[in-house]
């Protein structure tokens, strides 16, 4: 959320913006390029953002996160687009960190997702905030999104506006006030265009219908995506039978007693088995072999560890052993995940407890690609055991699987229930399901 009270748009800026873009053809469609979009779910962690009216337990940080997941899922239906998110879980990020991430992944545009609030409960409607620097504005994208939101019945008369800093922040020329929005300001410093979409007011009871359930959020996401597709000339991918659906198989299992044990550890053998099964090149009918001395041919995990050893994902220690029954640490899992992804280690992760750690370069590679985050103290805890709930959180991000359909999945586990922090991610990983 950017505006706590309704701010009058700068209409002159809007007209200038519109005049600059009349009659233009989407460049990406014309050049067959891939547009790299970064979605920025506003707020997170201890920054809750706006809260809804009437004592209902809605927080802006949670709504923007789920909306971003729906948008990314919807954009999968289009060709010529790559999508990333600044955060993949509920943690705090500074505006600079969000812009840094967008720069690292080569963003062409950042779309920051928000919901508004006002002390005046009658204030309502959607608006888009654009940068005050003409070279970093995306008003046409904003207008396209607003047009689609209007189709849902949302008042969009506030239009596209600019809002200058109220604290004296200046652009680099020292002559103009910088943007009020920290995300847009930091993105402009890095030569990345950005807009912020305020979808409606959480403080307005009449607008609850636009965000108070998954169906409503899906409609918002679809509207945003139609606006994005219009701006960049994106085309729906052709699918067999003109039906757009896929099937996501479970990649982690529960236990025979009906539990998942989300706080339980994962052994090195279990981690190897999971990643081997997820590898496109793994053939369960092929005979693999390994010289690792503590991986016997009769063991249930033999072929999985042997496969990963044969492709160089695991190499064993100086004694020629793998220690399959040992718990896997967070650092060890980071190394294995990087090898699975083909990421090269390099640089520093920036986590205070990883400096000088042998796995810091691997952790940095994962962080730079948005696969891991730290805690509120900026720590990663590399030597702690990896727990099962953290495994599914990371692997869902790596696999591009987002827990947006958990209400449609049956929960087979007796030890987790709705409200548990990793509930949706666990069902996404452990229950096979159709994805539309």
Sign of the dihedral defined by the CA atoms of residues 145, 146, 151, 152, in that order? positive
Q: Would you state the pLDDT for residue 21?
A: 36
Domain boundary among the residues 213, 234, 255 is at 234
Q: Would you state the pLDDT for residue 389?
A: 95
Same domain, 61 and 210: yes
Same domain, 94 and 193: yes
What does the alpha-carbon distance between residue 431 and residue 413 come to, in Å, rounded to a whole number? 10
- The structure tokens listed for 384 are 């702690």
Query: Mean of the per-residue pLDDT values for the chain?
Result: 82
- Residue 127: count other Cβ atoms within 10 Å of its Cβ: 27
Least confident of 12-26, 88-102, 360-374: 12-26
Sign of the dihedral defined by the CA atoms of residues 349, 351, 356, 359, in that order? negative
Domain boundary among the residues 234, 269, 287 is at 234
Confidence label for 319 from pLDDT (cuts 50, 70 and 90): very high
Residue 327 has pLDDT above 80, yes or no: yes
Domain boundary among the residues 196, 214, 234 is at 234
Least confident of 181-185, 280-284, 381-385: 181-185
Q: Would you state the pLDDT for residue 360?
A: 96
Residue with the two structure tokens 């590399």: 382
Which of 308, 300, 252 minimizes the C-alpha distance to 276? Answer: 308
Q: Would you state the pLDDT for residue 17?
A: 37
- Residue 180 belongs to some domain of the structure: yes
Q: Residues for the chain: how many in total? A: 436
CB 228 within 8 A of CB 37: yes
- Residue 26 belongs to some domain of the structure: no
CB 7 within 8 A of CB 127: no
Confidence label for 64 from pLDDT (cuts 50, 70 and 90): very high
Residue 369 has pLDDT above 60, yes or no: yes
- Residue 22 belongs to some domain of the structure: no
- The structure tokens listed for 143 are 């207008």
Which of 82, 110, 88 minimizes the C-alpha distance to 181? Answer: 110
CB 249 within 8 A of CB 96: no
pTM of the entire structure?
0.61
Residue with the two structure tokens 């060709």: 79
Q: What is the mean pLDDT of residues 256-267?
A: 96
- Residue 419 belongs to some domain of the structure: yes
The whole domain housing 342 covers 246-432
Q: Would you state the pLDDT for residue 137?
A: 61
* Structure-model confidence comparison of residues 419 and 1, the more confident one: 419
- Residue 345 belongs to some domain of the structure: yes
Q: Would you state the pLDDT for residue 121?
A: 87
Q: What is the mean pLDDT of residues 127-145?
A: 78
CB 385 within 8 A of CB 412: no
Q: Would you state the pLDDT for residue 419?
A: 85
Q: Would you state the pLDDT for residue 284?
A: 86
Q: Would you state the pLDDT for residue 206?
A: 85
CB 112 within 8 A of CB 130: no
Confidence label for 185 from pLDDT (cuts 50, 70 and 90): confident
Residue 166 has pLDDT above 90, yes or no: no
Same domain, 264 and 207: no
Same domain, 68 and 174: yes
- Residue 14 belongs to some domain of the structure: no
CATH of the domain at 69: 3.40.630.40
Same domain, 114 and 190: yes
pLDDT tens for each residue of 4-34: 333 333 333 333 334 333 334 444 544 567 8
pLDDT tens for each residue of 393-421: 899 888 877 765 555 578 999 999 988 98
Tell me, what DSSP letter sits at residue 352?
Answer: T
Neighbouring residues of 419: CB distance < 8 A, sequence distance ≥ 6: none
Same domain, 338 and 382: yes
Q: What is the mean pLDDT of residues 145-156?
A: 93
Same domain, 252 and 384: yes
Same domain, 37 and 155: yes
What does the alpha-carbon distance between residue 407 and residue 427 come to, in Å, rounded to a whole number? 10
Q: Would you state the pLDDT for residue 69?
A: 87
- Residue 102 belongs to some domain of the structure: yes
Same domain, 215 and 357: no
Confidence label for 239 from pLDDT (cuts 50, 70 and 90): low
Confidence label for 129 from pLDDT (cuts 50, 70 and 90): confident
Same domain, 295 and 353: yes
Share of the chain above pLDDT 90, in %: 42
* Structure-model confidence comparison of residues 4 and 202, the more confident one: 202
Cα Rg of the chain, angstroms? 23
Residue 56 has pLDDT above 70, yes or no: no
Same domain, 214 and 258: no
Q: Would you state the pLDDT for residue 188?
A: 82
Distance of CA 407 to the CA centre of its chain: 20
Domain count along the chain: 2
Q: Would you state the pLDDT for residue 156?
A: 95
Same domain, 52 and 159: yes
Q: What is the mean pLDDT of residues 180-198?
A: 83
Q: Would you state the pLDDT for residue 174?
A: 54
- Residue 239 belongs to some domain of the structure: no
What does the alpha-carbon distance between residue 47 and residue 31 come to, in Å, rounded to a whole number? 40
Residue 297 has pLDDT above 60, yes or no: yes
């Amino acid at each position: 959320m950017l505006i706590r009270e309704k701010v009058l748009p700068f209409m002159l800026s809007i007209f200038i913006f519109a005049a600059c873009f009349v009659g233009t053809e989407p460049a990406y469609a014309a050049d067959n390029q891939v547009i790299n979009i970064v979605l920025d779910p506003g707020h997170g962690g201890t920054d809750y953002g706006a809260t809804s009216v009437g004592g209902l337990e809605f927080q802006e940080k949670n709504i923007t996160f789920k909306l971003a997941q729906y948008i990314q899922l919807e954009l999968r239906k289009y060709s010529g687009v790559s999508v990333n998110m600044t955060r993949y879980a509920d943690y705090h990020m500074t505006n600079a960190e969000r812009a840094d991430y967008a720069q690292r992944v080569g963003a062409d545009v950042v779309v920051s997702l928000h919901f508004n609030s006002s002390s005046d409960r009658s204030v309502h409607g959607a608006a888009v905030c654009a940068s005050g620097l003409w070279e970093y504005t995306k008003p046409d994208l904003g207008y396209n999104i607003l047009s689609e939101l209007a189709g849902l019945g949302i008042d969009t008369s506030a239009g596209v506006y600019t809002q200058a800093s109220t604290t004296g922040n200046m652009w680099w020329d020292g002559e103009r006030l910088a943007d009020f929005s920290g995300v847009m300001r930091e993105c402009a410093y890095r030569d990345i265009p950005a807009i912020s979409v305020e979808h409606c007011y959480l403080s307005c009871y009449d607008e609850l219908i636009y965000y108070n359930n998954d169906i409503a959020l899906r409609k918002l996401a679809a509207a945003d995506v139609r606006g994005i597709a219009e701006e960049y000339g994106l085309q729906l991918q052709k699918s067999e039978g003109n039906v757009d659906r896929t099937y996501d198989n479970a990649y982690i299992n529960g236990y025979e007693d009906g539990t998942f044990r989300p706080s339980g550890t994962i052994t090195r053998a279990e981690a190897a088995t999971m990643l081997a099964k997820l590898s496109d090149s793994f053939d369960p009918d092929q005979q693999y072999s390994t010289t690792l001395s503590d991986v016997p041919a009769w063991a249930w995990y033999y072929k999985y560890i042997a496969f990963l050893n044969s492709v160089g994902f695991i190499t064993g220690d100086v004694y020629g052993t793998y220690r399959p029954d040992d718990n896997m640490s967070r650092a060890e899992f980071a190394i294995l995940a990087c090898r699975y992804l083909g990421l090269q280690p390099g640089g520093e992760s920036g986590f205070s407890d990883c400096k000088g750690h042998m796995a810091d370069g691997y952790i940095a590679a994962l962080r730079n690609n948005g696969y891991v985050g730290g805690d509120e103290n900026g720590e990663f805890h590399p030597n702690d055991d990896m727990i099962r709930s953290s495994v599914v959180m990371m692997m869902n991000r790596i696999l591009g699987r987002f827990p947006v359909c958990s209400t449609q999945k049956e929960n087979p586990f007796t030890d987790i229930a709705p409200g548990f922090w990793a509930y949706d991610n666990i069902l996404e990983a452990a229950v096979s399901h159709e994805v539309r």
